[in-house]
């Protein structure tokens, strides 16, 4: 599968081409979204990371930051959900 990645302004645009995959061009994605999208399309992890490194050798740092940001959002959502459960139910008049 031919995987070409372009890096610009902190985002990546991917072009996937045959013979091993259907022609596809992405919108601008984060490094994490590139990993997710190409994995879902059946690309080998080595092909994905090689393309990301060719586009931006510092992509792992951006990916790590995105993963931390997502985990913090998930944790905050869990904590917010838990704080709602601790509130007393309001009675209807």
Q: What is the mean pLDDT of each run of 10 residues along the chain (93 residues)?
A: 91 86 91 94 91 96 93 93 69 59
* Residues whose CB is less than 8 angstroms from the CB of residue 29 and which lie 6 or more positions away in sequence, other chains included: 11, 12, 13, 14, 37
**What local confidence, expressed as pLDDT, does residue 81 receive?**
86
**What local confidence, expressed as pLDDT, does residue 82 receive?**
81
**What local confidence, expressed as pLDDT, does residue 19 receive?**
65
d(CA 82, CA 61): 32
Q: What ranges do the domains of the chain cover?
A: 2-85
């Amino acid at each position: 599968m031919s995987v070409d990645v372009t890096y610009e302004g902190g985002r990546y645009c991917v072009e996937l081409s045959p013979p091993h995959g259907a022609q596809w061009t992405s919108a601008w994605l984060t490094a994490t979204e590139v990993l997710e999208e190409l994995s879902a399309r059946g690309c080998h992890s080595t092909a994905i990371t090689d393309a990301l490194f060719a586009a931006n050798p510092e992509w792992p740092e951006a990916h790590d930051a995105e993963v931390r940001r997502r985990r913090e959002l998930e944790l905050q959502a869990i904590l917010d959900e838990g704080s709602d459960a601790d509130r007393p139910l309001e009675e209807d008049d």
